Amino acid sequence: KVLKVPTERIDPQANFARLGVDSAAAVFFVLDIEEWLDLELPASIAFEYQSIAELAGYLAKECARRRSATRGS
């Protein structure tokens, strides 16, 4: 929804800005991810991880970390 390019043309290595994600769109993007993954994320995350590939790597690690923490409790 947030990216301003057709899905089939999305380069996971491309910078979010190159994909048309400005700061307002980034807020909605982060909110969608939070809802989808049931995570609380810092609002700045789309700027800390500047591509889909970088953000996906972070999210995979964060989900694994939380899953491990849940199993350990």
Predicted confidence (pLDDT) at residue 24 exceeds the cutoff of 80? yes
Q: Which residue has the tokens 């989900």?
A: 63
Q: How far apart are CA 44 and CA 60, in angstroms?
A: 18
In sign, the C-alpha dihedral spanning 46, 40, 59, 1 is negative
- Check residue 66 and give its pLDDT: 86
The rounded percent of the chain whose pLDDT value lies above 70 is: 95
Identify the band that residue 36 occupies on the pLDDT scale cut at 50, 70 and 90: very high
Average pLDDT, the chain: 88
pTM of the model: 0.81
> What pLDDT, in 10s, does the model give residues 39-62?
899 888 988 999 999 999 999 999
